[in-house]
Amino acid sequence: MNKKSPIGIFDSGYGGLTVFDEVQKALPEYDYLYFGDNARAPYGNRSFDVVYEYTLEAVQFLFDQGCPLVVLACNTASAKALRTIQQNNLPKLDPEKRVLGVIRPSTEEIGFLSKTRHVGILGTTGTIQSESYVIELKKFAPDVLVSQHACPMWVPLIENEKYQHPAGIQFIEEDVNELLKKDPLIDTIILACTHYPVVAEKIQQIAGKDIKVVSQGPIVADKLKQYLKAHPEMEEKLSKNALREFYSSESTIVFNEKAERFLGYPVTSIHHSF
């Protein structure tokens, strides 16, 4: 297939690269187009209306670039915008296209991970306040007791690479301990923000070896693989030249440097802003 029909991957910033990295490893033959709205990140403390507006703009942009399928590799956007986009916008924009999120695949798996049936969720203020994890987990693992804690400082710390600074470490320690104080029986912590795998090692150290710290990337990659198997009509539309394209709404120089650190290979991004 010569026509470019990549899988679109969207995040407010760099966090989605943790998902993209796992997806491209699991499904290397496909073309991908990553868009990071770095100029407007973080989304975590923004209102529903603003997150919806920004996410819709990003989805529209990725559709315009030829993506038949877009993955919102952002929990905040998945929590606050996905349903409205799927139900209200998609039928008008292009009923043949699809937008998927990261919350549903994660909540489908959580039930298989916890032995104590006590699970902790760490996310942005937006994701935690939306109660999306609590609502979805009721469907897929109703016996699991969920405790949540918002970590509003983490995305700014990660976007600005201050998470190894003593002040950054202090925020991470405080937040993990706050979550564990809510329920000492937690044996599984879900990193419900795609930025957080960057600090997964630190979280694991604080939580201790008996607690599983779960990043979403591998789960989302696996679910996407299953989705494409179950939807040959979508799979056939996707181009497979192993191309990777990156767009950022901020400085491409900064994006290239940081993305290379996330992915381990040189990245040349293109600027796009709204």
Least separation in angstroms between CB 232 and ligand DGL: 29
Least spacing, CB of residue 92 vs ligand DGL, in Å: 26
CA 110 to chain centroid, in Å, comes to: 16
Determine the Cα–Cα distance for residues 40 and 99; give it in Å rounded to an integer: 21
User: Which of these is catalytic: 70, 74, 151, 221?
Assistant: 74
Beta carbon of residue 201, minimum distance to ligand DGL (angstroms, whole number): 18
In sequence order, what DSSP letters do the residues of the chain get, joined into one string? --S--PEEEEESSSTHHHHHHHHHHHSTTS-EEEEE-GGG---TTS-HHHHHHHHHHHHHHHHHTT-SEEEE--HHHHHHTHHHIIIIIHHHH-TT-EEE-SHHHHHHHHHHH-SSSEEEEEE-HHHHHHTHHHHHHHHH-TT-EEEEEE-TTHHHHHHTT-TTSHHHHHHHHHHHHHHHHH-TT--EEEE-STTGGGGHHHHHHHH-TTSEEE-SHHHHHHHHHHHHHH-HHHHTTS--S--EEEEESS-HHHHHHHHHHHHSS---EEE---
List residues binding ligand DGL (CB under 6 A). 11-13, 15, 41-44, 74-76, 124, 127, 155, 193-195
Q: Which of 41, 59, 193, 211 is catalytic?
A: 193
Cβ at position 48, least distance to ligand DGL in Å: 14
Q: Which is nearer to ligand DGL, 74 or 119 (CB)?
A: 74
To the query of whether residue 74 is one of the catalytic residues in this protein, the response is: yes
- By beta-carbon proximity to ligand DGL, the closer residue of 116 and 125 is 125
Q: Identify the H or E element spanning 64.
A: helix 48-64
- Cβ-based nearer residue to ligand DGL, 7 or 41: 41
Nearer to ligand DGL, 5 or 106 (CB): 106
Examine the residue annotation and report whether 151 is marked as an active-site residue of this protein: no
Cβ-based neighbour number of residue 135 at 10 Å: 13
Nearer to ligand DGL, 103 or 119 (CB): 103
Shortest CB 210 distance to ligand DGL, Å:
26
Which residues are identified as catalytic?
A: 74, 193
